[in-house]
Amino acid sequence: MATLSKEELLKIEKDGLDVLADIHRYAKEGFDAIDPGDFVRFKWYGIYQQKPKTDPYFMMRVKIPGGMLTYEQAVVVAELANRFGRGLADVTTRQAIQYHWLKIEDMPEIFDRLAAVGMSPIQACGDVVRNVISSPVAGLDAKELFDVRDLVWEVEKKFLSNKTYSNLPRKFKISIAADPRDLGHPEINDLALVPAKLGEEVGYHILVGGGLSAKPHLAQNLGIFVRQEEALEVIEGVVAVYRDHGYREKRNHARVKFLVADWGAEKFLDVLEAHIGRTYTRGGERQFEPWNGAYLYGVHKQKQAGLNFVGLSLPVGRISGDILLEFARIAKKYGNGDLRTTNTQNIIIPNVPDTNVDALLAEPLLLQFPPQPTAFVGHAVSCTGNEFCNLALVETKERMKEIAYHLDETFPGFDNPVRLHVNGCPNQCGQQAIADIGLAGALVRIEGKMQDAFDISIGGGLGEHAQFNRKVVLKVAGDKVKYAIEAIVRHYLAHRTEGESFRS
């Protein structure tokens, strides 16, 4: 019989969701009382140990399904960052917020205050269904085929604190969007619902088995047309098939992408239909429009007449509680108070009447977080890196800012945004494999000392012609990497044909 990983044994001993009472107990007894196995289970409540693990500090992810944040929620998220997290509130590539510097003693109040505004860190991490992502402009976007927001909330409710699905082989990431530009980055999710048509009827195609990390896979289309009212049962069925058949022996071979790669889409569908006890309509046509990296800067008309959404740049996704309070204030003053976080680590103010757009654009906050950012800073994505992450090999956010500002200074007015992504380790929280230019952290020995370095890859992207980027340069020293990328961009400028994008 195959041997289970040590994490599997921990989960058998006590389910991740069962650690809540212990968190409350540790909040009274302090950091030193924490059982080592419970540090792993804390992830089911969105809590990770911060670097170094010997210090009594934690990171926490707070879920924002579909990136949809109300005024009241944004205020609470910001106040908690200021009160407990030294003011930091990072927007992640799954539209969540990540805190740092939390203490175990803080957790009960954080849970309570989030719950009071309908928010939760529960299952933001762990071997569970994670924060469901969507198009950042779901329900607003004139291009979407239909509104998926209710389904996003139904999925959140279905899996939240649900012990039927609280012990999956590994994390499980879902994207639901009906936008033909693939704003929900479907191909890199474990399960994605994308827009499709069967004749004039609009529904979903189902993609399974996507994911990044050290071995990136693009999700495969199951080839069925799923009606909107059938979507939840299909999602639940896919998660159940993964729970029952996913691999549990090695953590780095446990994501559903490995099962799908071994089985193929056809067998996965057979098992899924047998599990649900019915078959689904074959065919339909997936709907595509050119992928834009899910960048939505500037002012856009919503499908609701007279309303607009305004996309703003948050360099590498880092803001403070005070800045988030300011965003909430202007969202309320000029819109209806709602905000949207994006999978490109940016922010959107929706529901701004035509008559308020000019006044919103004149707000001083937008000088710092502009609707039309410079080409490189405006398309730079970064994971957490070794500032806080125990798995990181290198520092990432400051390095990415240094690179992007350098490129903006070197190529002022650059006309064709180049998406830059950086990861501090092979885990790909910064999604480097889908970048035009991706940086993967590594270490290199220079004059006897280990120093930050980066492997450079080029040519990634999603959409109809999704592909991962390819490594072109290995282990460039951290302080030289901006010059290496400058050389790549110069080469592109010198050799591009008319209208040729960086990726093509």
The binding site for ligand SF4 (CB under 6 A) comprises 383-385, 389, 391-392, 423-425, 427-430
Least CB distance to ligand SF4 at residue 383 (A): 3
**Min CB(429)–ligand SF4 separation in Å:** 3
Output 346 or 432, the one with its CB closest to ligand SF4: 432
Based on the residue annotation, tell me whether 248 is a catalytic residue of this protein: no
Between the alpha carbon of residue 287 and those of residues 166, 218, 504, the distances in Å are 33, 17, 21
Torsion, CA 94, CA 100, CA 106, CA 110, rounded to 10: -30
Query: Which lies closer to ligand SF4 via its Cβ, residue 221 or residue 427?
Result: 427
Residue 70 or 384: the one with the smaller Cβ distance to ligand SF4 is 384
Complex with ligand SF4: residue 213 or 374, whichever CB lies closer? 213
> What is the rounded distance in angstroms from the CA atom of residue 11 to the CA atom of residue 459?
39
What is the closest distance, in whole angstroms, from the C-beta atom of residue 431 to ligand SF4 in the complex?
Answer: 9
- Considering the complex, what minimum distance in angstroms separates the CB of residue 427 from ligand SF4? 4
Alpha helices in 277-419 (DSSP H): 321-334, 357-361, 365-368, 397-410
Q: Which lies closer to ligand SF4 via its Cβ, residue 49 or residue 135?
A: 49
Of the candidates 93, 99, 118, 70, the one whose C-alpha atom is nearest the C-alpha of residue 321 is: 99
CA-to-CA distance for 470 and 457, rounded, in angstroms? 5
Question: Which is nearer to ligand SF4, 351 or 432 (by Cβ)?
Answer: 432
Q: Verify whether residue 470 is a known catalytic residue.
A: no
**Residue 430 appears among annotated catalytic residues:** yes
Q: Which is nearer to ligand SF4, 205 or 257 (CB)?
A: 257
Which residue number places its CB atom closest to ligand SF4?
424
* Given the residues 41, 43, 94, 170, the one annotated as active site: 170
- Closest-CA residue to 215 (of 241, 250, 165, 266): 250
CA-based R_g, the chain, Å: 22
Task: Report, in Å, the least distance between residue 213 CB and ligand SF4.
Answer: 9
The catalytically annotated residue of 125, 383, 425, 429 is 429
**Which residue has tokens 């390819």?**
470
- Smallest gap from Cβ 386 to ligand SF4, in A, equals 7
Is residue 434 a contact partner of residue 470, using CB atoms and an 8 Å limit?
no
Reference 369, options 418, 408, 320; nearest CA is 320
Catalytic residue among 63, 171, 181, 503: 171
Please state, in angstroms and rounded to a whole number, the distance separating the CA atoms of residues 220 and 261: 9
Catalytic residue flag (residue 424): yes
Query: Omega of the bond prior to 136 within 30 degrees of 0, cis?
Result: no
Helix axis angle for 231-245 and 256-276, nearest 10°, is 120
CA distance 60 to 441: 23
Closer Cβ to ligand SF4, 67 or 430, answer by number: 430
Comparing CA positions, the residue from 263, 285, 281, 283 lying closest to residue 273 is 281
Whether 64 and 145 have beta carbons less than 8 Å apart is answered as: no
CB of 29 to ligand SF4, least distance (A): 29
**Smallest distance, Å, CB 193 to ligand SF4?**
25
Return the structure tokens found at 241. Answer: 């098939």
Residue 131 to residue 68: CA distance in whole angstroms: 11
Concerning whether 61 is annotated as a catalytic residue, the answer is yes
Q: Which residues contact 32 (CB under 8 A, 6 or more apart)?
A: none
Amino acid at 322: D
Given a contact cutoff of 8 angstroms between Cβ atoms, the answer to whether 291 and 504 are in contact is no
Nearest residue (CB) to ligand SF4, 265 versus 420: 420
- If the CB atoms of residues 50 and 374 are measured against ligand SF4, the closer one turns out to be 50
- Take residue 308 and report the two structure tokens written for it: 């607009």
Tokens of 490: 């110069």
Q: Which residues of 294-321 are buried (b: 16+ CB within 10 A; e: fewer)?
A: bbbbebbebeeeebbbbbbbbbbbbbbb
CB of residue 92 to ligand SF4, shortest distance in Å: 9
Q: Could you tell me the smallest distance in angstroms from the CB atom of residue 319 to ligand SF4?
A: 17
Active-site choice (209, 337, 385, 424): 424
In order of 90, 151, 343, 403, the CA distances from 450 in angstroms are 28, 48, 33, 21
Q: Of the candidates 175, 248, 257, which has an alpha carbon nearest to the alpha carbon of residue 208? A: 257
> Which residue in 16, 246, 430, 438 is the catalytic one?
430
Does the annotation count 282 as an active-site position? Answer: no
Active-site annotation, residues: 61, 170-171, 424, 429-430
